[in-house]
Amino acid sequence: MKKRVTIAEIAKRCNTSIGTVDRALNNRSGIHSETKDFILQTAKEMGYQTNPIAGALSRKKSIRLGIVYCENHADFYDYVNRGIEQAAKELLIYGVEVTKWKTKNLSWEEQLELLESIDLNSYDGFAINSAGMQTDAILNHIVDLGIPVLTFNTDAPATKRFCYIGANARQAGNLAGELIGKLMGQEGKVAALGSFLATNSFIERFIGFYEVIQREYPKITLCPFSECFNDTKSAYHETLRVLEKESDIKALYITGSAGTVGAIEAIKELGRKDMILVGYDITEPTIQALKEGWCTAVLYQDPYFQGYHAVKVLAKHMLEGFVPRSPLLTVDTKIMMKYNLEECENTALFLS
Partner DNA sequence: ATGAAAGCGCTAACAC
Partner DNA sequence: GTGTTAGCGCTTTCAT
What is the identity of the amino acid at 264?
I
The site map against its own copies for 228-267 (x = CB under 8 A) is ----------------------------------------
Interacting stretch for its own copies, rule CB under 8 A, among 38-46, 52-60, 230-238, 279-287?
52-60
| Binding of residue 293 to DNA (CB under 7 A) | no
Between 5 and 40, whose beta carbon lies closer to DNA? 5
* Residues 155-174 within binding reach of its own copies (CB under 8 A): 171, 174
Between 261 and 319, whose beta carbon lies closer to DNA? 319
| Binding of residue 1 to its own copies (CB under 8 A) | yes
**Burial grade of 224 (CB within 10 A; 0-12, 13-18, 19 or more):** exposed
Between 65 and 264, whose beta carbon lies closer to DNA? 65
**From its own copies, DNA, none, which one binds at residue 85 (CB under 5 to 8 Å depending on kind)?**
none
| Binding of residue 185 to its own copies (CB under 8 A) | yes
3-state secondary structure of 163: strand
Using an 8 Å Cβ cutoff, are 208 and 173 in contact? yes
**From DNA, its own copies, none, which one binds at residue 245 (CB under 5 to 8 Å depending on kind)?**
none
Reference 70, options 32, 48, 38, 100; nearest CA is: 100
Reference 147, options 132, 161, 158, 166; nearest CA is: 161
* Residues 191-230 within binding reach of its own copies (CB under 8 A): 212
| Binding of residue 3 to DNA (CB under 7 A) | yes
The site map against DNA for 9-48 (x = CB under 7 A) is ------xxxxxx-xx-xx--xxxx--xx-----------x
CB of 112 to its own copies, least distance (A): 31
- Residues whose CB is less than 8 angstroms from the CB of residue 279 and which lie 6 or more positions away in sequence, other chains included: 253, 254, 255, 256, 257, 259, 260, 261, 263, 264, 286, 295, 298, 299
Interacting stretch for its own copies, rule CB under 8 A, among 37-45, 53-61, 194-202, 222-230?
53-61
| Binding of residue 308 to its own copies (CB under 8 A) | no
The site map against DNA for 54-73 (x = CB under 7 A) is xx-xxxxx------------
Q: Spell out the alpha helix ranges (H) of the chain.
A: 7-13, 18-25, 33-46, 52-58, 74-91, 108-117, 136-144, 169-183, 200-216, 232-245, 257-270, 284-292, 303-320, 343-349
Bridge partners of 280, per DSSP, are 299
Tell me what percent of the chain is helix, strand and coil, each rounded to the nearest 5.
50, 15, 30
189: Cα separation from own chain's centroid: 33
CB of 246 to its own copies, least distance (A): 19
Between 59 and 268, whose beta carbon lies closer to its own copies? 59
How far, CA to CA in Å, does 327 sit from each of 44, 149, 156, 322?
Answer: 23, 12, 12, 11
Binding residues for DNA, rule: CB under 7 A, are 3-8, 15-20, 22-23, 25-26, 29-32, 35-36, 48, 50-51, 54-55, 57-61
